[in-house]
Structure 1
Amino acid sequence: MDTTTVAIIILVISFIAMLVLRFPVALCLAGSTIFTLMYLNVPLEVIGQRMIQGVNSYALLTIPFFILAGQIMGEGGLALRLVNFALLIVGRIRGGLAMVNCVACLFFGNISGSAAADVSSIGSIMIPMMKKKGYSTEFSVGLTTSAAIQGVVVPPSHNLILYSLAAGGTSISALFLAGVVPGVILCIALMIASYFMAIRKGFTQKHVVAREDVSKVLKDGILAIMPAFIILGGIFSGWFTASESGAIACLYAFIVTFFVYREIPLSRMWTILKRTLRTVSMVLFLIAASNAFGWLLAYLKIPALVTDTLLQISHNPIIILLIINILLLILGSPMDMAPLILIMTPILLPVVTALGMDPVHFGIIMMLNLGIGLLTPPVGTVLFIGCAIGKVSIGQGARAMAPFALVLVAVLMLLTYIPQLSMWLPGLMNH
C-alpha cells in the first residue's frame, strides 16, 4: 500500500479506537491527527498552527453571544411565558395542547438555538402539563423531543454557525434566513401529525387562557420572542451582521430578564456567565481540533476521493443526495451533532457542490439530518433528556417518538429535493 492509503487507515482506526474508548470527541480528532502526522513525518507544529487558525475568526463571536442570550432568557422564566403565548394561539383547538408543544418549541428554538436547551426548558413545563391534562407520558415525551429538533434549523442555531465555519465561511446571515421557512414547515408538519394522533388517542382536551390573563400573556409573549425579531430583523434590514445581532440580543435579554421579568436576582448573572464560558470553551476546543483534522483530510485528498467514489456509483443527483441523507442519518446515531458537522462538511460539501447544490441549501439539509440523529440511541442526547424529564425508559420514549421521526424524515426529503424552500428567503434578501 502507498503512504497515503496507510495514513488514511491510521487516521480512521485511531479515531474510531479513541471514540470507542470514550475519549472526548475533540481529543479523538486531535489525537488521530497527531498519530497520522507522526507517520507522515510532518512537523507537529502544523497541528498547533491549524488549531489556532481554526479559532482565529471574527465569525466565532456569534457563538458566545447567542449562547449567552439563550442562557439568560432560559434562566429568567422565558419558557413558561412562551408556553402561555402558544396556549393563547392554539390552545382552543381540540388536542391543542399537543400543538402548543410544537409552537412553544419553535419559539424557544428561535431564542436558544439549541435542541437540548429546547427540550430541557419546554419539556420541563409541557410534559408535566400534558400529563396533568390526560395525555400519556410516552406521547408527551415523544412529541416534545421531536419538536425540539426545530431548534437546530431555525436561527440562531449554533450548529448553523459551526457549519458556516466548516464550509469555509458560508454566510451565517444567509444560513439563518434559509432556516426560517424550513423551521415553519417543520412546525406545521409536527402540528398536523400531533393533532391527528392526539384525536386518535382520545387526547381532545382544550386549554383556554382566561380572558383576564390575555393581555398579560400577550405582552409577556411578545417580549419573550422579541430577540428572534431582533436577530432576523437586523439581518433582513442589513442594519447589523449576525455577530452584532447576537450582541444586541444579549443586551435585550439582560434588560428583560433582570429589570422586566425580575424572577431571578442580578447575582445569578455570575452563574450564567460561568456556565456560558464552560460551554463556549468546549465548543472552541472542538472547533480548533476539527480544523486540524479537516486540514489533514484535505492533505490526504479524502474529500476528492469521496466525491469520485460517490460519482462512480451514480451521476444522478437524486440518488447521490439520497445516499448522503442515509449516510448522515446512520452517522448521527452513534455520534453527536457538532463534531459530525465539523468532520463531514469538508468531506461531503465538494460532492454536493459538484452536483450544483448551493452550500446554504446543503447546510439546512445537514442540520435537519443530524438533528434527527439527536433522537436516536445510542447517543440520542435530546431523546435521553426528554425521557429523563418524563421519567420513562429510553425504549418507551423511542417508540413514542418514532411516528414523529417519520414526519421529520418526510420534511427532510421535501427540503432536499425542493431547494426553493430553503433558498427563497436568502434569494429574496440577496444573500
Structure 2
Amino acid sequence: MEAVVSGKANNSPEQPSSFWKKFLTFIDRRFEEILIVSGFLIFIILINLQVINRYLLPFLDIGNITTWTEELSRYLFIFVSFLGASLAIRKRESIQVSVIINQFPKSVQKALHLANMLFMFYFSYMMVMNGFQLISFQIETQQTTPALSIPMAFPYSAIPIGFALIMIRLIQMFIKDMKHMTIQEGLLGLTFAIVMILPIAFLDNAGIAVVLFGYFILFIIIGMQIAFALGASTLATVLATDAIPVDFFPQTAFTSIDNFPIMAVPFFIAAGIIMGGGSIIKRLLNLSDELLGFLPGGLALVAIITSMFFSAISGSGPATVAAIGTLLIPAMIKQGYHAGFATGVVATAGTIGVIIPPSNPLVIYGVVSQESISQLFLAGILPGIMTGLFLLLVVYIISKKNGWQGERKTFSLNSSAKAAWDAKLALLVPVIILGGIYGGLMTPTEAAAVAAAYGIIIGMFVYKDLGLKGVYNSLVKAGVTSSIIIMLMVMASIFGRLITLERVAEIIAESVLALSENKFVILLLLNLFLLIIGLFLEALAAIVILTPILLPMAMAIGLDPVHFGLIMIFNLAIGFITPPVGVNLFVAASTAKIKIEEIIKGNKYLLLTMLVLLLIISYVPEITMWLPELIRN
C-alpha cells in the first residue's frame, strides 16, 4: 500500500509538468502557423467583403467600409508577413545563392553558416531596439491611423515583434546546429564574423557605394539569405559611414509594405497552392489532353497548354512546375519520352507562369517601379501566349521526329466539350481575375483575394477534396512563401535608400550610355546582363534589387517602363531553366528523380526557343505594348 501511495504521490506532480511541456511544444511548433492562418482568413474575408459591399449589397446602406477594411487588411498583412519570416527561419526556407559556398569544405560551410546567423541576429536585434524607439515616438506624439483611429503604435509593433521572433528562431537554430558542430568549427565561424565586420572601423572615409556593394557581394558569397544580405550590408555601411540614421530602418520596413497592391502577392500564391493540389489541376490536365493528346508529343503538348491554363491561376513558375510535373512527368516517361526531354518540357513550360498574368514577378515589378499592375498584366498576355505557341510548335516537331505519340490517335469533339464542361470552374478563375480587373470591377489585390476565396469554396464545398487541414496547410505554405518575397521587398527598400542617396542608378546609366548611343546595342547589353544575373540570382530578388538601378537607363534610351518590365521578367524567366540557380530545373528534377545534366541536354532546343522569343519581345515592342496602349487610348 505504501508503494502504491508513494507511486501516486510521485506521479501526480508529473501530470501538470507533462501538460505544460506538451503545451509549450505545441506553441513552439504552431505559434506562427496559427496566427498566419488566422490573419490570412481574416483579410481574405475583409477584402471579399468590400467587393461584395460595393456591388451586391448597396441596399443595406452600411456605408463605405472600404477605408477601414483596406486599412485593417494592410496592418494584418504586415503582421502576417513578419510572422511568416520567423516561420521561414524555423523551417530553413529562404532565397540564397549557395553555388559558391557549396564548393567549400563542410567544416568551412558550417563556420560560415554560423557567421551568417550572427550577422542576421545582430541585424534583427537592431531592428527590435530601434523598432521599440519608433513605437515610443508614436505613443508620445499620439499618432493614430486614418480610418480606424487606433494608435499607430499598434501596427508599428509588427516590426519589433516580428524581428524578436526571428531572433528567437535564430537562437533555436544556433542551438540545434551547435550539436553537429565541433568547437573548432564554432571558433572558426566566430573568427570569420569578426574578420568580416572589422573593416567597418576603418571605412569611415570610403565611398558609400563601395562599402554597400562590397558587403552585399561578400554576404551573398558566404551564402547569407539574400533579404538579410541586403539589410546587413546596409547596416554595415551605415555603421561605417553614418550615411543615414539607424532608426530609419524600422520605419522603412513598415512603410515599404504598408501598400495595398503588394497584398496581391500572398493572395495569388494562396490561390495557386489551394488550386494546385486538388481536382482543379486534374480537370485542366484532362481538358488539355482531350484538345492536344492525339497529336505527336501529346503529353508534352498537354504539359504546355496546362501550364498556360494554370499560370493564369497561380502566377508562379515553380508552383506550376510542381503541380503539373508530379502528374505528367512520370506519365511521359512511361510512354517512352526521354526523361530529360519530358522534365525539360515541364520546367520550361513553367516559365509561362511568370509572364502571363496574374504574375507575381509582374506585381513585384509594378510595386517597385510604381507602374500600373493592370497595365503590366495586359502587357504579359500576348508574350505569354506567344511563348506557349512557340513551345508547342518546337515540342511537336521534336516529338514527331522521335516518334513520341500519345495513346489516343484521334480528336473527339464530344469528349473535348465534356472535358471543357468538367473543367468549367477551373476555367472561370482567369475570367474572374482578369475580367474583374479589366472590367473595372476590382483592383488586382481584390481580384487575387476573390480568387483565393473561390479556391477555398470550390475545393471544400464543390469538389470536396480540400478539408480544413488542407486549407490550414495551404495557408501556412502561402504565408511562408509570400513572407520570403515580402522580406526581400523590406530589405531592398532599406538598401535602396543608400542607392538613391549615392545616385548609383544615374551613374550606371551615364556610364553605359557613354559606351554607345545606339538603342539596340544598349538593349542587347541590358539583355546580356540580365541573362547573366538570372544564372545566379533568383528572379524576385533580382527584380527588387535591379529595377531601381536599370529602369532609369531603360527610360533614357526610350523604353516604356511597362515594356522594360516584360523584358526584365522574360530574361529572369530564362534563369528559371538555367543552372546553377534554375528553380524550375530543380523542382522538375526532384519530381523526376533525375540529374540536372540530363534535363539540360534534353532541354537545349526549348532554351534556344526562349532566347529567340526574348529577342523578338525586346526588339518588337508592339507585341508587349499593343494591349496596354489600346486600353490607354
Q: What's the TM-score, normalizing by structure 1?
A: 0.96
* Aligned pairs (5 A) from 1:312-323: 312-323=514-525
The 8 Å contact of residues 150 and 187 in structure 1, kept in 2 or not, is answered as yes
Q: Structure 1 residue 12 and structure 2 residue 213: aligned?
A: yes
Aligned residues of 1:105 and 1:150 also touching (Cα < 8 A): yes
User: What amino acid sits opposite 1:84 in the alignment?
Assistant: N
SS in 1 for 2:579: coil
- Between stretches 215-224 and 200-209, larger displacement belongs to 200-209
Pick the aligned partner of 2:343 from 123, 141, 145: 141
Displacement of 1:214: 4.5
For 2:427 and 2:488, the matched residues in 1 are separated by: 30
Q: Answer yes or no: is 1:194 the counterpart of 2:395.
A: yes
Distance in structure 1 (CA, Å) of the matches to 2:481 and 2:499: 27
> What residue is the counterpart of 1:156 in the other structure?
358
Residue number among 274, 291, 308 corresponding to 2:476 in the alignment: 274
State the alpha-carbon separation in 2 of the partners of residues 15 and 426 from structure 1.
37
**Does the Cα contact within 8 Å between 1:116 and 1:382 map onto a contact in 2?**
yes
Task: State the SS of the aligned residue for 2:603.
Answer: helix
Give 2:222's aligned residue. 21
The match for 1:97 is: 299
Separation in 1, partners of 2:571, 2:328: 25
Deviates further, 393-402 or 264-273? 264-273
What's the TM-score, normalizing by structure 2? 0.66
> What CA distance in whole angstroms lies between the structure 2 residues aligned with 1:344 and 1:129?
40
- The correspondence of residues 50-199 of structure 1 with structure 2, limited to 5 A, is 50-167=252-369, 169-199=370-400
Q: Which residue of 2 aligns with 1:407?
A: 609
Deviations 1:150-182 (A, max 9, x none): 001011111111111111x20011111111100
Equivalent residue, structure 1, for 2:445: 243
Deviation string, structure 1 residues 343-385 (Cα, Å, up to 9, x no partner):
1100000001111111111111111100111111111111011
Which residue identity does 1:299 align to in structure 2? L
Amino acid at match of 1:127: I
Superposition deviation, residue 85 in structure 1 = 1.0
Residue in structure 1 matched with residue 455 of structure 2 by the alignment: 253
- Asked if 2 retains the 8 angstrom alpha-carbon contact of 1:97 and 1:206, the reply is no
**Paired residue for 2:106?**
none
Amino acid corresponding to residue 97 of structure 1 in structure 2: L
Residue in structure 1 matching 2:236, options 12, 21, 35: 35
Indicate the larger mover: 262-271 or 311-320.
Answer: 262-271
Consecutive unaligned residues in structure 1, runs of 5 or more: none
Following superposition, the deviation at residue 280 of structure 1 comes to 2.2
Q: Distance in 1 between matches of 2:360 and 2:294?
A: 34
Q: Is the 8 A contact 2:534 2:574 kept in 1?
A: yes
For residues 267 and 289 of structure 1, what CA distance do their matches in structure 2 show?
33
Please give the secondary structure, in 1, of the residue aligned with 2:256. Answer: helix
Distance in 1 of aligned mates of 2:368 and 2:286? 38
Distance across 1 between alignment mates of 2:479 and 2:299: 36
Confirm or deny: 8 A CA contact 1:110 1:225 kept in the other structure. Answer: no
Question: Structure 1 residues 243-252 or 142-151, which shifts more?
Answer: 243-252
Q: Distance in 2 between matches of 1:179 and 1:280?
A: 22
Residue 149 of structure 1 contacts residue 371 of structure 1 at CA under 8 Å; is this kept in 2? yes
Counterpart in 1 of 2:596? 394
Conserved? CA contact 2:617–2:623, under 8 Å = yes
Q: Is this contact kept in 2: 1:236–1:429, CA < 8 A?
A: no
Deviation at 1:206, TM superposition (A): 5.0
Amino acid at match of 1:63: V
| C-alpha contact 1:94 1:206 (8 A) present in aligned 2 | no
- Cα distance change on mapping 1:180 and 1:8 into 2, 3 Å: same
Measure the CA separation in 2 of the matches of 1:40 and 1:320: 34
1:296 aligns with 498
Q: Which amino acid aligns with 2:544?
A: L
What letter matches 2:512 in structure 1? L
Q: What do you get for the CA RMSD once the two structures are aligned?
A: 1.8
> What's the CA shift for 1:219?
2.0
Q: What is the rounded CA distance, in whole Å, between the counterparts of 2:566 and 2:424 in structure 1?
A: 27
Match of 2:542 among 294, 315, 340: 340
Q: State how far apart, in whole Å, the 1-side matches of 2:382 and 2:402 are.
A: 30
Query: Which has the larger Rg?
Result: 2
| Stretch deviating more after TM superposition (149-158 or 269-278) | 269-278
Which is worse superposed, 359-368 or 77-86? 77-86
**Deviation at residue 7 of structure 1 after TM alignment:** 1.9
Separation of aligned partners in 1, 2:250 and 2:454:
37
- SS of 2:356's equivalent in the other structure is coil
Q: 1:372 aligns with which of 564, 571, 574?
A: 574
Quote the Cα distance in structure 2 between the aligned partners of 1:326 and 1:215. 45
Deviation of 1:79 (Å): 2.0
Give the Cα–Cα distance (whole angstroms) in 2 for the partners of residues 100 and 55 of structure 1: 38
Task: Give 3-state SS (helix, strand or coil) of 1:386's partner.
Answer: helix
| Distance 1:105-1:4 versus aligned 2 partners, 3 A rule | farther
Partner SS, residue 55 of structure 1? coil
Query: Distance in 2 between the 1:267 and 1:54 partners?
Result: 33
Q: Is the 8 A contact 2:277 2:323 kept in 1?
A: no
Give the AA of the match of 1:165: V
Return the alpha-carbon distance in structure 2 between the equivalents of residues 27 and 239 of structure 1. Answer: 38
Q: Percent identity?
A: 34
- What is the alpha-carbon distance in structure 1 between the residues aligned to residue 400 and residue 572 of structure 2? 30
Structure number with the bigger relative contact order (C-alpha 8 A, sep ≥ 6) is 1
Q: Which moved more, 1:246-255 or 1:298-307?
A: 246-255
Give the aligned length.
429
Aligned equivalents of 2:422, 2:552: Cα separation in 1:
46
1:141 and 1:390 in contact (8 A); partners too: yes
- Given the alignment, which residue of 576, 583, 586 partners 1:381? 583
| CA drift at 1:13 | 1.6
Letter matched to residue 53 of structure 1: T
Which 5+ residue runs of structure 2 have no aligned equivalent? 1-202
Measured after TM superposition, the shift of residue 47 of structure 1 is 2.2
Contact 1:82/1:224 (8 A) holds in 2: yes
In the other structure, the counterpart of 1:349 is 551
Alpha-carbon distance in structure 2 between the residues aligned to 1:129 and 1:4: 62
Kindly indicate whether the alpha-carbon contact (under 8 Å) linking 2:362 and 2:377 is maintained by their aligned counterparts in 1: yes
Question: 2: distance between equivalents of 1:78 and 1:56?
Answer: 33
